[in-house]
Structure 1
Amino acid sequence: MPRISAGSVEEHREQVHQRVFEAFAALMAEKSFDAITMAQLAAAAGIGRTAIYHHFPDKESVVVAFASHETSRYLEGLRAALDGVESPVARLGVYIRHQLEAGQQFHMGFGAQLYGVLSRESLSQIREHVVAVEDVLRDLLADGVRSGAFAVDDEAATMSLIHACLAPRHLATSAIEQFVLRALSTTK
């Protein structure tokens, strides 16, 4: 029977998963997904080579669980930041700032490295997490259109353009926020 290093089995499982996620992020910063083995993940997480299989059957399941974990944390922080902010313009500003700051805190940029190496099913499961974040932006835009603050002719294009504006990390957050808000404004 494996040793439990926490107050409960559930708490132990969460601690092990957190260590595996941290190890996965660190290993992905050093090497490609294909070059990472389950044994390396287990060693980096400080668990036994066979013990990792009690939690994850393979690397793809680690990636999917990792994406779920990171997205949940991101959305929790975003929703907390948006709580109590009424104005659609202010809410979109919060979204933009949170998205730019989150790039420093969350490991959600592995997508390009994983296309072509993950199964269609795993990619689909990861896409569900991206959609959850997109849904927040979609709702913010719809609120802004309803209030008359935003002009959005093509929702999908607008969302893509907003996210494209959030990619350059070398620009000041305030400049990006001002640019996006001005682009959507109905008062030009």
Structure 2
Amino acid sequence: MPKIIGGSLSEHRRQTRSRLFAALSTLMADRGFDAITLADIAAEAGVGRTAVYNHVPDKESLLIAYITHETEQYVASLERVLEGVDEPVEQLRTYVRQHAALRREIHLAPGATLRSVLSHGSQARLREHAVLVEDVLRRILTAGIASGVLPVQALETTVPLINACLSSRAVPDDGPSRQAAIAATETFVLRAVGAR
């Protein structure tokens, strides 16, 4: 009988999933998603290969579960930070800063892009995780428009444009150049939405 990790079956499942997520992240950073197998992930996680199937049916499902988990953790953290910020423009600044502080990324190099290796169904599921983050931004912008500090605008266009800007922004790890990059990004986003 396999050894149970933790004090209960639910704790065992939680810890095993955490190990699988960590292994997936490590291996993707090293080899890329397309170059790893579930057997590789199980070995890196220190769990039996068949144990992986108790959690996910395939590698793509594990990737989607991992990205969803990471996104949910990020959104919960973002919401906690935004709790004490009342004004929409300051909320937008906070949103930009939180994105700049986000250091956990899905590393795919040196392999192919996800678009080229995932099925169409998995690509659609991958897109769903971004909606969680977009909803926060949409709420901030809607409040800004309602209060008059932002002009009326088409949020179905504005939201993806802002997130594309933030996700592609390379911010230095530390030092004065980091602060300058964050400040420039804030200024750019606030101008783009017409903040007063």
TM-score by length of 2: 0.86
Corresponding residue of 2:189? 180
Corresponding residue of 2:169? 168
Deviations 1:74-111 (A, max 9, x none): 11101011112100001111111111111x1x23465x
Q: CA deviation at 1:38?
A: 0.8
Compared CA separation, residues 62 and 78, structure 1 to 2 (3 A): same
Deviations 1:15-65 (A, max 9, x none): 111111111111111112221011110111111222222222210110111
Larger mean Cα displacement after TM superposition, 91-100 or 148-157: 148-157
Q: CA deviation at 1:132?
A: 1.3
Give the letter for the 1:9 counterpart: L
Compared CA separation, residues 115 and 45, structure 1 to 2 (3 A): same
Q: Is the 8 A contact 1:70 1:108 kept in 2?
A: no
Q: 1:107 aligns with which of 91, 105, 108?
A: 105
Q: Is the 8 A contact 1:70 1:107 kept in 2?
A: no
Structure 2: unaligned runs, 5 residues or longer: 172-179
Q: Looking at both structures, which has the greater relative contact order when contacts are Cα pairs under 8 Å and sequence separation is at least 6?
A: 2
Q: Which runs of 4+ in 1 moved over 3 A?
A: none
Give the letter for the 1:87 counterpart: E
Q: Measure, in 2, the Cα distance between the counterparts of 1:61 and 1:92.
A: 33
- The secondary structure found in structure 2 opposite 1:145 is helix
Corresponding residue of 1:85? 85
Q: Is the 8 A contact 2:88 2:143 kept in 1?
A: yes
Deviations 1:124-180 (A, max 9, x none): 222211111111111111110011111242223322331233222146111111221
Q: Measure, in 2, the Cα distance between the counterparts of 1:109 and 1:80.
A: 26
TM-score by length of 1: 0.89
| Count of residue correspondences | 184
**5 Å matches for 1:3-82?**
3-82=3-82
Larger mean Cα displacement after TM superposition, 90-99 or 50-59: 50-59
Q: Measure, in 2, the Cα distance between the counterparts of 1:114 and 1:7.
A: 37
Corresponding residue of 2:130? 130
Give the letter for the 1:181 counterpart: L
Give the root-mean-square deviation of aligned CA atoms: 1.8
